[in-house]
Amino acid sequence: MAVTVLLVVLLLGASVVGPARAFSVVTAESPADDPPATVVSLTFDDGNDDQFGAARTLERYGFRGTFFVSSGLIAEEPGPRDAAPTKMTLAQLRGLQADGHEIGGHTVTHADLAEIDAEEAQRQVCNDRTKLVDLGLDASNFAYPYGEASLDLERIVEGCGYNSARGLGDIRSPNVPRVTNTCEKCPVAETTPPTDPYRTKAPNQVENTWTLAELQNAVTGAETTGGWLQLTFHHIDDSGSSLSVPPSVFEAFVAWLAERATLGTVVRTVAQVIGGPERPTVDYPPKPRSGNLVRNPGLETLSHTSSLPACWQGVGWGENQPSFTVVDDARTGEAAGRLDLTDYTEGDAKLLPTLDLGTCSPPVEPGRAYDLGAWYRSTGKTQFEIYTRDADGAWTHWASSPPYLPADDWVHATFTTPRIPEGVDGLSFGLNLQESGTLITDDYSQEVDITWDEFVTRTVAATWAQVRRTLAAPADNLVSLHHFGTLQNLASPW
């Protein structure tokens, strides 16, 4: 009987935790008073390039970390060291993985998943994983940006093929300045295996208000019960930013942690703790649309999460004060978008279809041109500013239309874009203001600009259909003609 139970435990342990599990199964040989095993995972969010140095520190002590990165925010090349911290390059991420570190997913653009709908969340989570895997990175575990998790999101993350997802703030955190939720009554460590792998419990992210002693206390606290402690770092640098830990403090902590091995405390990556198979990736491309490609083009539906129309956002740059409101002074329907720009020195502001992965922003095909339209009234000149999204989910300014004159009454501004370049799959556009004043817009449109060949093909097809209808028409008429003829036949041999 005891042997059977032991076997079941071993089998369960093996299947749930996988071959790389980091904690020991209690066997008949283990003394009952063994100290509980504690596993620490050192996780790093957002792919900040200062984390590359932290990885080297870990390696000096034989440790490996887990780096949760956003596929749309991988740097093209190393950034300037004296500038604000930038992101790691693909070469650096591949190097980390080759050296035994883990690369996990963190959404395409570091999206706040609580703010977007399920379809967009699927794109953010699944397409990120697909991209990372295509780039040769493992991406078997995920971390929620801002720790924003929900039951619906857990199912989405699972559906994307991840084996786990890390939350934040469900494990007791040190009482440090600026942090209000320390989760005082929470456990000091996550269980191994976690009861809910798609929302694994972790303390708050490490802030610069945590001291070396507080990092150590988190570990010694976890050691009192045993289990899994995931620490979340953002920056290991001397910038003093709110999420920075100085390299000297980090190294002192890692050196101290290495000495805890004698007490049974070990450091493992998330993948080593969670285990599980490598599951297939799932892709969610933007859905095809036809006709007017703009969502909520009349601005009639209000957003649940902002005071703006659903699927629209206010965007601007430079020195000025923009204010976006919805007004009932509409061209059609009951809503129009109003932009008031004050204190103008430079830059612009405009209302745009939300710069997302495809739920709001219109899809486009490379090689096609698009007819853009919007109705406006304005105290100043206005022009279309056009943005495009690349395959990484990144948005950049692409083109501007010529300016349109100020107008007291509604004017229809129209512009045909250049052909969409290769590698672009989304577009967003809006009318802007580049001076202090007021601009009211309504009834936006974006339709594919058909080519001459398509025009000819469609015209021929339409004409041919008309011919066929005409040819088919006598068939119907024949019935009546036949009747008529039959009647006539009474009087004539025809």
Give least dist CB 334 to Zn ion, A.
39
Which of the stretches 54-62, 144-152, 262-270, 394-402 binds Zn ion when contact is defined by CB under 5 A? 144-152
What does the block give as tokens for 203? 């303390």
**Alpha-carbon separation of residue 348 from 354, 466, 488 (angstroms):** 17, 50, 79
Q: Rounded to whole angstroms, how far apart are CA atoms 111 and 126?
A: 13
By C-beta, is 198 or 312 nearer to Zn ion?
198
Inter-axis angle of helices 90-98 and 51-60, to 10 degrees? Answer: 10
The closest of 265, 18, 25, 228 to 140, measured between CA atoms, is: 18
Helix (H) or strand (E) holding 427: strand 424-433
Give least dist CB 144 to Zn ion, A.
8
Question: Tokens 């698009």 map to which residue?
Answer: 370
By C-beta, is 327 or 394 nearer to Zn ion?
394
Give least dist CB 143 to Zn ion, A.
7
Q: Rounded to whole angstroms, how far apart are CA atoms 298 and 492?
A: 65
Structural contact between residues 309 and 326, judged by C-beta atoms closer than 8 angstroms: yes
Give least dist CB 45 to Zn ion, A.
4
Tell me the three state secondary structure of residue 219: helix
By C-beta, is 145 or 362 nearer to Zn ion?
145
Sign of CA dihedral 58, 129, 95, 393: negative
72 binds Zn ion (CB under 5 A): no
Question: Tokens 């297939």 map to which residue?
Answer: 280
Query: Burial code of 341-369, b = ≥16 C-beta within 10 A, e = fewer?
Result: beebeeebbbbbbbbbbbbbbbbbeeeee
Which of the stretches 90-98, 145-153, 313-321, 444-452 binds Zn ion when contact is defined by CB under 5 A? 145-153
- Site mask, Zn ion, residues 16-55, x = CB under 5 A? -----------------------------xx---------
Give least dist CB 198 to Zn ion, A.
17
Give least dist CB 374 to Zn ion, A.
35
Q: What number of chain residues touch Zn ion (CB under 5 A)?
A: 3
Give least dist CB 110 to Zn ion, A.
6
145 binds Zn ion (CB under 5 A): yes
By C-beta, is 75 or 266 nearer to Zn ion?
75
Bridge partners, residue 228, by sequence: 39, 190
Which of the stretches 140-148, 274-282, 465-473, 474-482 binds Zn ion when contact is defined by CB under 5 A? 140-148
By C-beta, is 50 or 425 nearer to Zn ion?
50
By C-beta, is 49 or 348 nearer to Zn ion?
49
By C-beta, is 110 or 377 nearer to Zn ion?
110
Query: Burial code of 272-296, b = ≥16 C-beta within 10 A, e = fewer?
Result: bbbbbeeeebeebebeeeeeebbbb
Which of the stretches 115-123, 141-149, 175-183, 411-419 binds Zn ion when contact is defined by CB under 5 A? 141-149
Give least dist CB 116 to Zn ion, A.
15
Give least dist CB 145 to Zn ion, A.
5
By C-beta, is 67 or 444 nearer to Zn ion?
67
170 binds Zn ion (CB under 5 A): no
Within 10 Å of residue 24's Cβ, how many Cβ atoms? Answer: 12
Q: Which residue number is nearest to Zn ion in terms of Cβ?
A: 45
CA dihedral of 60, 66, 67, 71, whole degrees rounded to 10: 140
The type of residue at 280 is: P
By C-beta, is 45 or 348 nearer to Zn ion?
45
Which of the stretches 26-34, 138-146, 212-220, 409-417 binds Zn ion when contact is defined by CB under 5 A? 138-146
Q: Which DSSP string do the residues of 26-58 spell out, in sequence order?
A: P-TTS-TTPPPPEEEEEEEETTBTTHHHHHHHH
By C-beta, is 143 or 222 nearer to Zn ion?
143
* Binding footprint of Zn ion on the chain (CB under 5 A): 45-46, 145
